[in-house]
Each structure stands twice: as C-alpha cells, then as structure tokens.
C-alpha cells in the first residue's frame, strides 16, 4: 500500500489520507519519508481535530495553545487514554454545546465553570467516599470540576447564588437555583448528609448538585447503577427519592469496553443542553438578577392566550423537593408561572380601545388525572391587583398546586376592568387562561 500511495501526487494523496482514520494515517506515515511528511500535513490534522473534537485552533484538554494540530490530537488521546474514545468525544460535545449557549446567553454563569479535575482528584474522592464513579461522570469532571460556588456568608454576593447552570424557580418564599458541585464539595456535602441527615453510606449515593439559595434541593448520583436522584421532602430512603432520568436509557456505566456508555449525569446534562438550545427554558431577569428559569417558555408546555388585548402565558414545573410519596392527598407539588401583559394596541372591548386595564379576580380549575380536585375563585393574585399598560413588560407571578397524582392540569380566567379599579371605564371582562399541563417529566431538574 505504501508503494502505491507513494506514486500519487499531493492532491490525490491528501484526499485519500483524509478518508483514513487517525490510526491508519499513523501507519501510513511509517512507510517512508515522503508519506511521513504527507501524513503530518497540518490541514489534515486540523480537519481531524475539528471532526472529532470540534477544535478550531490547536490546544490541549485544558485550553492551552499548542504549535500544531497533530500534537494537539496526540495529547488529547494521551490525556484520555484510559477512557473509550467515543465517550470522550460525546462528553466533550455535551460540554461544548452547554458552554456555547452560556457564552451567548449567560456568560456570567459560564465564568463559574472550574477547570477539569485530575485523575488523582477523582481517585481521592473515590477513596474517601468508598465509591466508584461511573465512567461518563468521571469524564464530565475531567472536563469541568463543577462550578465555583457562591459565598453564602457574604450578603454582598447574594446575586451570585443564582448562577447555577441547572437553574431553578421561585414561588412565595421558596427559591432554588442548582449548581454542579466541584469534587471537594461533593465530598463535603455527601459526608454532611451521611452524618447529620441519617443518609446511608451503603447506598453508594453522592451529592453532585445542590441549590445554593436558602431553600434545599439536592441531587444524588448512585455510583453503582449510574442513576441520578433528586431528594423529596423526606429524602432519607431510596423510596423517598425520585429518579431524574428514565432507567431504560442507562447502560454500561462501568464497562470500559461496552457500547454507548451513558449514565444519568451525562443524559441529564445533554437533555438540559437540548432544552436551552431549543429555547424551552431561558434566562429570566428579576430586578438586577439573572438566572436560568425552569418554567417552560414554548408550546406545548407553555400556553398563550389573548383576550381583548390582554396576553397571558402560563406554564408549570414539577417541584420534587416538596413531593411526599407517602401522602395520598398531596404526593406531588407543582409550581406554575403566569406572565400577563397588555399588547401594544391596548385593551380593546367592543371596538373601544383603553390604555390600561386592571386585574380584579382569578378563577382556577385544577384537575388530577382528568378529575377536578380544586376550584379557586378569589380576589387578586398573590395579594396584588396588577395594572397593565401597552408595551410594558410582563407582570409575572408564581404560585403552586399540590396533586394526588403526577398528572394534571390548570385552566381558568382572570377578571379585569378597563381603566383602573378605582376608576373603571367599563364593565368587567374575562381574560381566558388556556389549560396547561401539570406533569411529572421523564427528566427531572
């Protein structure tokens, strides 16, 4: 084969080499001096590095610049030689997609990502906690050792507690925002829940993600089977935790030679990236603070209705930390977000246009498994009577609803008056809110 290739011109030889795998290119380079030179061509290795690692400049796995792409590829393969190469490429793609989205939409959160952990860091965790991390999770930490965490003791850094890359939600006095923990915090948090919360060390579960607001929300990785769980109101037994990823998708979590190794951590982060890329969840600004908000923003999970110029958007999110799996009446908790605004054309009733309207009452019908379990008819929303004007930002409020089952819905209407309640310019009118789902999802965040 070497002799046959040696007789080819530069262009056909380059085309043939570009069709070979990196290992075959290395073999060809051993044939003679000319082929060694062709197999070392910078454009050839630039193409390989881009196809396999999405590298547009030569750099090592820590982002340090290198003189050429061939060396970059070599160092990447050496750095991850103990892992299946297809899994390395998949984990890198996962992080690349997340970081691209954060760079474009939420750079202050991207800045909290730590440099990758070393193999010795991982071995130390495994020794101290007496666990063996699933292969995909090990690789996830090799690329980024979680996030830099906010200083909860310093009030001046309160806004930094909302930079968790998983995000969260708030309603009433409950607020969560979830961070990926660095390895040293995985050790500290896991030891804490074992020592003070009675969590069993025999479960082989470690705390990998946590809210850093004043409301608790913990995610536990089972290092034996690779499933990720979220704590409920009573998280101290496996029966009181909820799986975050469908069990059927998890496979080969410790098998170096298996096909398509994937644990819940990798699947969870890939799904999170998909939701961010598709605009299902977005960054929301409240006051001076920005955070990833887990209330869905697009259909079918978010519904939009317009009545007389008043637009209402509504969606809900499952709240696992308030679930009580032993409570027959209120097993599952859902938070819902209502966003209302007056369109630029104003409030239009029977051909007449008004420059404002104000909410007076609300009416909700709440269902579980298709059956009505609650009906609400009362004044105001969370004690407020929002006054809407054309072109202003949305009035947003959150509330919650417990259900006896993991599937339900809410629908209803608001009663408004044109003008102001203190100075109505016409009779009351109803603004419809289309039915929106309350569903425990396959992926729980």
Q: Give the whole-angstrom CA distance, residue 318 versus residue 316.
A: 7
**What is the band of 17 on the pLDDT scale with cuts at 50, 70, 90?**
low
- Checking if the pLDDT of 183 tops 80, the result is yes
CATH number of 85-278: 3.40.1580.10
Cα separation values, 300 from 315, 402, 436, Å: 9, 21, 8
Beta-carbon contacts of 321 under 8 Å, excluding residues fewer than 6 positions away, are: 176, 215, 216, 217, 218, 230, 231, 232, 233
User: Can you name the residues that pair with 210 across neighbouring β-strands?
Assistant: 179, 218
If one counts every other C-beta atom within 10 angstroms of the C-beta of residue 78, the result is 10
Q: Could you tell me the two tokens for 393?
A: 């930002």
- Checking if the pLDDT of 327 tops 90, the result is no
Q: What is the pLDDT of residue 8?
A: 57
Q: What is the pLDDT of residues 50-59, one digit of tens each?
A: 999 999 999 9
User: What is the CATH architecture of 5-80?
Assistant: Up-down Bundle (1.20)
**What is the band of 108 on the pLDDT scale with cuts at 50, 70, 90?**
very high
What average pLDDT does the segment 320-329 reach? 88
Q: What is the pLDDT of residues 158-182, one digit of tens each?
A: 556 899 999 999 999 999 999 999 9
- Checking if the pLDDT of 428 tops 70, the result is yes
What average pLDDT does the segment 277-303 reach? 95
Look at 19-28, 132-141, 144-153 and tell me which has the smallest mean pLDDT. 19-28
Q: What is the pLDDT of residue 29?
A: 57
**Taking the domains of the chain in order of start, what are their residue ranges?**
5-80, 85-278, 297-439
The domain defined by 297-439 folds into: Immunoglobulin-like (2.60.40)
**What is the band of 7 on the pLDDT scale with cuts at 50, 70, 90?**
low
Q: What is the pLDDT of residue 34?
A: 59
Pairing verdict, β 407-420 and 429-439? antiparallel
Q: What is the pLDDT of residue 329?
A: 80
**What is the band of 233 on the pLDDT scale with cuts at 50, 70, 90?**
confident
- Checking if the pLDDT of 274 tops 60, the result is yes
- Checking if the pLDDT of 421 tops 90, the result is yes
Average pLDDT, the chain: 91
Q: What is the pLDDT of residue 26?
A: 64
**What is the band of 330 on the pLDDT scale with cuts at 50, 70, 90?**
confident
What average pLDDT does the segment 225-253 reach? 87
- Checking if the pLDDT of 200 tops 80, the result is no
- Checking if the pLDDT of 32 tops 90, the result is no
HEC-encoded secondary structure of the chain: CHHHHHCCCHHHHHHHHHHCCHHHHHHHHCCCHHHHHHHCCHHHHHHHHHHHHCCCCCECCCCCECCCHHHHHHHHHHHCCCCCHHHHHHHHHHHHHHHHHHHHHCHHHHCCECCCCCHHHHHHHHHHHCCCCCHHHHHHHHHCCCECCCCCCCHHHHHHHHCCCCEEEEECCEEEEEEECCHHHHHHHHHHHHHHCCCCHHHCEEEEEEECCCCCCEEEEECCCCCEEEECCCCCCHHHEEECCCHHHCECCCCCCCCCCECHHHHHHHHHHHHHHCCCCEEEEECCEEEEECCCCCCCCEEEEEECCEEEEEEEEECHHHCCCCCCCCCEEEEEEEEEEECCCCEEECCEEECCEEEEEEEEEEEECCEEEEEEEEECECCECCEECECCCCEEEEEEEEECCCEEEEEEEEEEEEEECCEECCCCEEEEEEEEEEECCCCCC
Q: What is the pLDDT of residue 208?
A: 98
- Checking if the pLDDT of 258 tops 80, the result is no
- Checking if the pLDDT of 156 tops 80, the result is no
């Amino acid at each position: 084969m070497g002799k046959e290739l040696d007789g080819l011109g530069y262009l056909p030889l380059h085309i043939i080499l570009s069709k070979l795998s990196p290992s075959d290119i290395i073999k060809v380079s051993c044939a003679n001096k000319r082929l060694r030179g062709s197999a070392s061509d910078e454009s050839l290795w630039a193409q390989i590095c881009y196809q396999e690692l999405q590298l547009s400049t030569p750099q090592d796995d820590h982002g340090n610049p290198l003189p050429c792409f061939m060396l970059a590829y070599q160092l990447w393969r050496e750095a991850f030689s103990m892992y299946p190469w297809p899994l390395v490429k998949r984990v890198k793609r996962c992080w690349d997609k997340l970081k691209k989205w954060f760079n474009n939409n939420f750079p202050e959160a991207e800045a909290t990502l730590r440099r990758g952990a070393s193999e010795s860091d991982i071995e130390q965790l495994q020794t101290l906690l007496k666990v063996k991390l699933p292969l995909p999770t090990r690789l996830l930490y090799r690329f980024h050792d979680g996030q830099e965490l906010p200083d909860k003791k310093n009030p001046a850094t309160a806004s930094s507690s909302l930079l968790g890359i998983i995000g969260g939600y708030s309603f009433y006095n409950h607020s969560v925002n979830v961070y990926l923990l660095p390895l040293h915090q995985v050790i500290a948090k896991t030891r804490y829940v074992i020592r003070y919360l009675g969590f069993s060390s025999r479960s082989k579960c470690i705390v990998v993600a946590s809210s850093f607001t004043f409301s608790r929300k913990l995610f536990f990785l089972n290092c034996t089977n690779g499933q990720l769980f979220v704590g409920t109101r009573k998280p101290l037994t496996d029966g009181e935790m909820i799986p975050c990823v469908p069990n059927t998708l998890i496979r080969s979590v410790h098998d170096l030679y298996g096909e398509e190794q994937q644990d819940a951590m990798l699947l969870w982060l890939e799904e999170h990236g998909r939701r961010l890329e598709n605009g299902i969840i977005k960054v929301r600004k409240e006051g001076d603070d920005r955070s990833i908000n887990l209330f869905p923003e697009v259909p079918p999970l978010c519904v939009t209705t317009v009545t007389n110029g008043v637009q209402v958007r509504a969606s809900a999110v499952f709240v696992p930390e308030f679930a009580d799996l032993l409570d027959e009446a209120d097993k599952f908790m859902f938070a819902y977000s209502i966003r209302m605004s007056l369109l630029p054309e104003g409030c239009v009733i029977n051909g007449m246009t008004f420059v404002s309207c104000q909410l007076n009452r609300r009416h909700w019908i709440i269902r579980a498994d298709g059956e009505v379990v609650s009906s609400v008819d009362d004044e105001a929303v969370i004690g407020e009577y929002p006054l809407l004007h054309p072109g202003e930002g949305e009035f947003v409020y959150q509330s919650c609803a417990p259900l006896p089952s993991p599937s339900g819905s809410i629908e209803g209407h608001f009663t408004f008056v044109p003008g102001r309640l203190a100075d109505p310019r016409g009779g009351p009118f109803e603004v419809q809110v289309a039915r929106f789902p309350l569903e425990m999802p396959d992926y729980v965040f």
